[in-house]
Structure 1
Amino acid sequence: MENLKSFMEQLPDLVMAYGIKVIFAIIIFYIGKYFASLSKRITVNVLSRKVDKTVSLFVANLAWAVVFTFTIIATLGQLGIQTASLVAILGAAGLAVGLALQGSLSNFASGVLLVMFRPCRAGDYIEAAGVAGVVDEITIFATRLKTPDNKIITLPNSSLMNGSITNFSMMSTRRLDLVIGVSYDADIKKAKQLLIEILENNEKVLKDPAYTVGLNDLADSSINFVVRPWVNSADFLATRFALLETIKLTFDEHGIGIPYPQMDIHVKELPSTPTH
């Protein structure tokens, strides 16, 4: 009875002391939870303008998890619970997971760098890690490419960041580099004039920057012209196909031969074999 009476006498003080801690712990928890949700919304709004939705959601969830973890630790600390051991356990668990997932973490870090430096984005046609295609999606650990023949290639993000990336879509214009060979007996002035007329009559060829047509090489079996028009990046392949076809038809029409590799064999007359 005396113990109960003593406890009842101390109860108001205990309620006052621990009640304030509980109230502040609840306030800390809800404020931290609010800021965790706020950080998630802000991250999604900022990243969704620049990167794929998958990446922005992942980073947003990661930001929420970090803020919420600190909120839990702060709440427990306010209640008087020792959090040093909890932080140590989380650190050890994080280290163990990190060692077990070195490759995945490398891909994740590379994904973050892809997001930050943006050497490519969804819709760009790139060449990297020995393959080429249109970037279909940049995910957390890998990047998906769609090839021109409609195949999907999945590349680890680390293979992209550790090698060179050729982005064919980043610039609005590209230069076509064609090498057109004509035979040595052809009229090269006429051939050059025909090439210029073909470029002038193609509406996809840009006037600025100006195209280049010049005699580049006296090769073994042909005289080679370089034809370098500028086109919009979206028109690159279509213009290349159209120009090659038009050049061949035009040269055939005007009697200008386009040689192919060939070899002339000269046979010397051998001395006659004496007969017996």
Structure 2
Amino acid sequence: MMLNFETLKSSLVMYGLDAMYAILLLIFGWWLAEAAQRFVFRLLTVTHQVDPLVTAFVASLARYAILAVIGIAVLQLFGIQTASLVTVLGAASLAIGLALQGTLSNLAAGVMLLVFRPFRIGHDVEVGGKAGEVRSLSLFMTELKAPDNTQILLPNASVWGQPIINRSAYPATGELKVSFPVPAGPAADAIAQCVLQDLRENPNLQSQPTVHVSRVIDITNADRPVVELTVTARVKPSEVGAVKQQVLDRIGALVARSPRQGPPDRAREGGSEDVRR
């Protein structure tokens, strides 16, 4: 069988040009998609009336829509009829659906998160064992910023399918209040001063801390009276738990070094926090 080099040459030239056009079209389409995403993001941001979460989602949607159009154009450039392609995809819909189940579920979950909006940009959330500040929501991924400044990318399906703890949903007062019993007299004054000094050195404090006697627990024994001290302060809402734990640890160490007087020592917030002696 003899090869027709002229036909082969013309075919290579034709398909080579098509391939070159396809590459140029893909490059232009990628640039156009990025430019459209930036344009939509800026347009929605300028209005100051659209939620930042919706802005990021719509901008991402515009980018993927242009990429889809460019992909169809590239297929048509190689002579692949999109109508035939749709027919083939329809016949293999079950297999494709199973193959893209994870991707489609992420897309559907992203739409649900956008519609119901359990969180917004800047909210402090915890989902799927991961905690951080919400930075963005795209078609397939949710981005969090961890407290140690690391990036956390979660598939939307795992975010929508897990309990979401939103610490920024309600206005937080950042109020710290811890009560604990101590021996009355010099021991109580020493513990109060140490706790106050530690709190004043904490950078998360937003107001001057106070320690006062909230109630008298036991005065039946004149030699060992016991009173209850209450520590109050205002801290950053996101740091209440950490600061409270530091205060409880410090109280436990101070009470352990004080003379063993009165009933067993305990520290509580509303009657539920214990510090072992």
The structure number with the bigger radius of gyration is 1
| TM-score normalized by the length of structure 2 | 0.47
How does the TM-score come out when normalised to structure 1?
A: 0.47
